Amino acid sequence: MKSIEEINRKIREGDVVVVTAEEMKKIVEELGTKKAAEEVDVVTTGTFGAMCSSGVFMNFGHSDPPIKMQKVWLNDVEAYTGIAAVDAYLGVTQISETKGFEYGGAHVIEDLVKGKEVELKAIAHGTDCYPRKEIITEITLEDLNQAVMLNPRNAYQRYKAATNSSDRLLRTYMGTLLPNFGNVTFAGTGEISPLNNDPEYRTIGIGTRIFLCGAKGYVIGEGTQHLPPFGTLMVKGNLKEMSAKYMRAAIFPGYGVTMFVGIGIPIPILDEEMAKFTAIRDDGIETEIIDFGVARRDRPVVRQVTYAELKSGKVEINGEEVRVSPLSSYYMAHEIMEELKRQIEKGEFLLTQPVDKIPTKSVLKPMRQKEIKVVSSVMTKAITISPETGIDEVSKIILQKNVNHLAVVDENNVLIGIVTSWDVAKAVAKAKGVNLGKAKDVMTRKVITTFPDEPIEVAARKMEMHNISALPVIDAKRRVLGLVTSEDLSKLLARW
């Protein structure tokens, strides 16, 4: 048994034994947990990944005459200033109002750390105590009274890997997902990641001193959506002490802006149990591959997988080998572990005893919603026809029933195509002579469809993406149950 004080004394005296999480695995393998616990004092862990729940609290100082900011922008990226007069919180994912996805909160933060000037623009109502109504000026990090990075959710212990079963390329916060299980992406650094090396949260707790983007930071609690073993941390650190090397603004095409955040946490090897914990290997860290092809909160699990399989670069899905991309940088995580190791060895970084624990158990609640409106509640009866129906007959049905879409079905009511009034008009315009052809000649065979229990927002997005105005509603056997039109949906969605 060792105490944090004893380890700190060794750090001060310069005879502390520090190893990286990577080195620790081998040491425990060679020496066993008992001997390893005696020899090693500290294990450094690291991660470097896109962490959207990050941002910076700033205090700009008071202008003359003073202003109570109602809205504030930094390089056209809005920060939240619904707090005191010249305080604001800039989140990394906020996008520029002029440059869109190309520039966001993360870029402003990176620019500030690099010492660049940033344009500050604010507006206000004007009050007796704060008469000023607007201000435009240039600021640098040095000009700010405080700039504190405060990240509500960082350093995910493990994360669900992503793939895409749909036939459409998806641009997500997990990167670009190719159609038909074309690739898999995953986040987290697995066996070297901080929380995986202290799964009971014995040494990482409130008040733990950490390495945050090059500065000394602190854990201030469990992160939002903390759900062990998918644990998370809330952290803070002084932006003025940070280095651009250990952070990076990032753009995920089609999703937006985020930031690569670099975190390192030293784990004191207090006893044999901590040696055992820090010996964890990727093959013992499990997660799931989930399907982003389904646009729902509870995405279907494609399969269980370990970080060892994910890191191998290839996983098997439905008998096919699929290539895997990490989203976190092992290289940077490794640099962070080495830098933290160096700082501890040099006596520049002391360990802390947490002042309180973070929960080892937690529940994740879904959002409380009045109701989730699904397609079955808005669909109307589909008018169906056989593929052999003549175009003249089709046009009569369209007029009689006052509809624009006819579902073409076989004898079992199974969907085989769709004919629109536009298709009919085109057929008539193109026709030579009296033979106008049949429904099967003009129908669209690759029909975009929906299901009765699909939320109406998902159906609306399908229509928007494919630039169409109706979707046949089908069951699992592709039998037609009804039709939903953009008109039906827009009435509902507009009401909100």
Partner 1 sequence: MLLLLKFDSKAVKQPIISKAAIDTNTLINIIKASVGARRGELIVEVEDEKVKEVEKIFKSYGVEVQELDKAIAKDDEKCVHCGLCISICPVEVFEIKDKKVVAETSKCIHCGVCINVCPTRALSLPV
Strand 118-123 with 209-212, pairing: unpaired
Neighbours of 200 (CB within 10 A): 12
- Looking at the DSSP bridge assignments, the partners of residue 288 are 304
> Do 398 and 424 meet the contact criterion of CB atoms below 8 Å apart?
yes
Strands (E) across 272-329 are located at 286-291, 301-306, 314-317, 320-326
* Interaction of residue 251 with partner 1, rule CB under 8 A: yes
Asked, as a colleague might, if the bond just before 229 is cis with ω within 30 of 0, I would say yes
Q: Is 176 in the site for partner 1 (CB under 8 A)?
A: yes
Q: Which CB atom, from 103 or from 130, has the smaller least distance to partner 1?
A: 103
Q: Checking phi first, is residue 159 left (phi over 0); if not, alpha (psi -120 to 50) or beta?
A: beta
Per CB under 8 A, which region of 43-51, 285-293, 357-365, 436-444 contacts partner 1? 43-51
Decide if residue 113 touches partner 1 (CB under 8 A): no
**Contact region for partner 1 (CB under 8 A) — 73-81, 117-125, 246-254, 455-463?**
246-254
Q: Does 20 bind partner 1 (CB under 8 A)?
A: no
3-class DSSP assignment, residue 228: coil
Which lies closer to partner 1 via its Cβ, residue 59 or residue 325? 325
Given the complex with partner 1, which of 22 and 87 has the nearer CB atom?
22
Binding status of residue 326 toward partner 1 by CB under 8 A: yes
Q: How far is the CB of 49 from partner 1 (least distance, A)?
A: 8
Q: Are 235 and 151 in contact (CB under 8 A)?
A: yes
Q: Which of residues 259-288 bind partner 1 (CB under 8 A)?
A: 260
CB of 206 to partner 1, least distance (A): 30
- By the rule CB under 8 A, 116 interacts with partner 1: no
Q: Which two tokens stand for residue 281?
A: 């290997």
* Tally of helices (H runs) and strands (E runs) in the chain: 11, 29
Query: Cα–Cα distances in Å, from 390 out to 363, 381, 402, 409, 429?
Result: 59, 22, 18, 14, 15
Q: How far is the CB of 174 from partner 1 (least distance, A)?
A: 9
In the list 232, 329, 343, 485, the residue contacting partner 1 (rule: CB under 8 A) is 329
Q: Which is nearer to partner 1, 285 or 382 (CB)?
A: 285
Q: What is the DSSP string of 363-418?
A: --PPPP-S---BGGGT-BPPPEE-TT-BHHHHHHHHHHHT-SEEEEE-TT-BEEEE
- Nearest distance, CB of residue 493 and partner 1, angstroms: 30
The answer to whether 52 is a known catalytic residue is no
Q: How many residues bind partner 1 (CB under 8 A)?
A: 31
48 binds partner 1 (CB under 8 A): yes
Task: Identify the active-site residue in 1, 129, 367, 429.
Answer: 129
* 183 counts as binding partner 1 under rule CB under 8 A: yes
Catalytic residue positions? 129
Sites of contact with partner 1 (CB under 8 A): 48-50, 175-176, 178, 182-185, 248-253, 258, 260, 313, 322-332, 334
